Structures are given as C-alpha cells and as structure tokens.
Amino acid sequence: MILVTGGAGMIGSNLVSALNAAGHDHILVVDDLTDGTKFRNIADLRIADYEDKDTFLARIERDEDLELDVVFHQGACSSTTEWDGRFMMNENYAWSKTLMAYCLRRQIPFIYASSAAVYGSSSTFSEEPENETPLNVYGYSKKLFDDYVRRTALSRDEHSPVVGLRYFNVYGPREAHKGTMASVAYHLYQQVGKGENPKLFGAWDGYGAGEQSRDFIHVADVADVALWCWNAEISGIFNCGTGRAEPFRTIAETVVATLGRGNIDYIDFPDHLKGRYQSFTQADISRLRGAGYNGAFRDVASGVRDYIEWLKTRPSS
C-alpha cells in the first residue's frame, strides 16, 4: 500500500494522479475533509481507501502494522498567513515527527513536504542551515522539522530512505480549494474570467511593478521529482524548484495571451506583507541534480499556458 497524507490537497492529489499514471492504484489517502469541496481533487482518481487524519494518526500511535510500501507525507497547514503557532506546530511538526518515527521503525521510505519558506529573508537558496531565516511561523515549522530530520535520521549511518522536498512556488491543477493561498496563476485566471484586469503588486523592495520574482514550478514536475526520489531510494533534503526565477509579470502576460483579453493593473504593495514577503526566490538545484535527477522543468510561459487550458475544461478546479 502507498500512503499519501494530504492526498486530497493540491500536491497530494497530483501525486495520486502521477501514481495512477505509473500503474499504481493501491493507494491509501489520508486527509481532513472538513472542507468537503476537496473531494473534487480525488473524485477522478483511483485509490484503494480513504481515512480521516485523526483516525489514522491514532493507528500510527498504536504502532499498527499497516503494510505500507512508501509514505508521501504532504499533509500540513500551508498557510503562510496563519499566526496560530500552537496549531501550526501541531499540524506541521508534531504530526510529522510521529509519522517519520513510525516509518523509521518499520523501514518504510518517507518522503515529506518541506518548503522554500524556510529561506525567508535569505538571498541564498541552498540547503544549508545558515541560509534558513523564515519570515513566518509556517516557514519556522518547516525549518524545525528539517532540523529534526537532520538530527535524528540523516545523521545515522543506516536508515530507511528519508527525503525532504523544499517546494518553491507550486502552481497547477487541483488547487481551487486553497482560496487565498492558491497560486497567482489561478487568481489571475479567475480575475480575467470575471472580466477584470489581472492585478499584480506595484514596485516594492527594489523591484519594479510586477518584477518581484519567484521560482515557479508546475505541480506535475513536483510529482515527478517525488516519485523519482522513491524509486531512486535516496535520502536527503532537496530543493524542489526549477532553478529559474521568473517575474510575476510573466504569469500575468501568459494568462492574458492565453485567454485573449485583459491588461495588467498594478496595485500598491500591501502593508501587512511588508517584512514578511519573499520578493525573490531561486532554487539551487545542484544537490538534486547531483543525486541523479535529470528531469526537465517547465518554464512559466509553457507551464501556465498548460494550466490555463486545463482550467478552461474544469472551471471548478
């Protein structure tokens, strides 16, 4: 059995889709469907079973033998604007520690979601502790678990595979449920679809209007990396990005060109994000390449265009 926690979320459901495409359907999805709209993300996928997160966690704490072949741990609170630190640490840190301990005891490969948010205000995006300066409690929760993994698993001479993937700015199908935390590509598509102009932040932090830049990675490329890590039986913490920083303006221009209407409007940079916003990210993927991954990554223009075409066929997703 393959376990995907957060399997009804954006990255989790795309992992399930990629597993299906590779011929796997013996998949256990674990999630919290309090937001029932997330069912749409897995309604067209093949899984063997679904289990609520709390019920599943109790089974892990009892150390039941679940006969798992691999764990893809994607379940987390991913809101960078959530400031309930107690909630965040329970969801992203304590839950992850419990699940990894189970996997290490039973020699199960454990591939988990870290985040580029650990880098925060840093201008260097390589996987070293000195580069990690998170700007919010979400980024801190991810950094703390990465540190725990380094200390308790990766420091051992022998252990089952453990991989942390530091996701940069992920966009693509099956993210409608994320609301304000959905990708910029999704929000700009929605704006243009309603007859509005796409809106981007104006000049701020030394960047011109729309020129703040991130490493944007299509979710299908993320899934490819995760499945490769499982098959390669490697361990380590790796950046999961394209290695390219591209401006938000390129996303807006691609949305406008694909839909054939709209002009970019620039709005004042919001006060509540000042000092808490990454104006530039670019993954150093040399460690991932050094481990043997040679897959290609979509650039923003091709990836966003593909995503918009997909959205046009499934407007609720």
For residues 154, 158, 161, 166, the Cα torsion angle rounded to the nearest 10 degrees is 10
pTM to 2 decimal places: 0.95
d(CA 69, CA 182): 31
Q: Compute the residue count for the chain.
A: 317
Catalytic residue among 138, 140, 186, 307: 138
Is 140 an active-site residue? no
Spatial distance between the Cα atoms of 1 and 19, rounded to a whole number of angstroms: 12
Q: List the beta bridge partners of residue 280.
A: 213
Q: Which of 89, 74, 72, 81 is nearest to 2 (CA)?
A: 72
**Cβ–Cβ under 8 Å, residues 211 and 279:** no
The per-residue pLDDT string of the chain (317 residues; one tens digit each, 9 = 90 and over) reads 999 999 999 999 999 999 999 999 999 999 999 999 999 999 999 999 999 999 999 999 999 999 999 999 999 877 777 888 898 898 899 999 999 999 999 999 999 999 999 999 899 999 999 999 998 999 999 999 999 999 999 998 889 999 999 999 999 999 999 998 899 999 999 999 999 999 999 999 999 999 999 999 999 999 999 999 999 999 999 999 999 999 999 999 999 999 999 999 999 999 988 877 889 999 999 999 999 999 999 999 999 999 999 999 985 55
Q: Which domains does the chain have, with CATH numbers?
A: 2-168+218-243+284-297 (3.40.50.720), 171-213+245-282+301-313 (3.90.25.10)
List, as one string, the DSSP characters of 252-280: HHHHHHHHT----EEEPPPGGGTTS--SB
The one catalytic residue among 178, 199, 207, 293: 178
DSSP SS3 for 49: strand
Q: Give dist(CA 58, CA 42) in Å, integer.
A: 24
Closest residue by Cα to residue 284 from 205, 149, 166: 166
Active site annotation includes 102: no
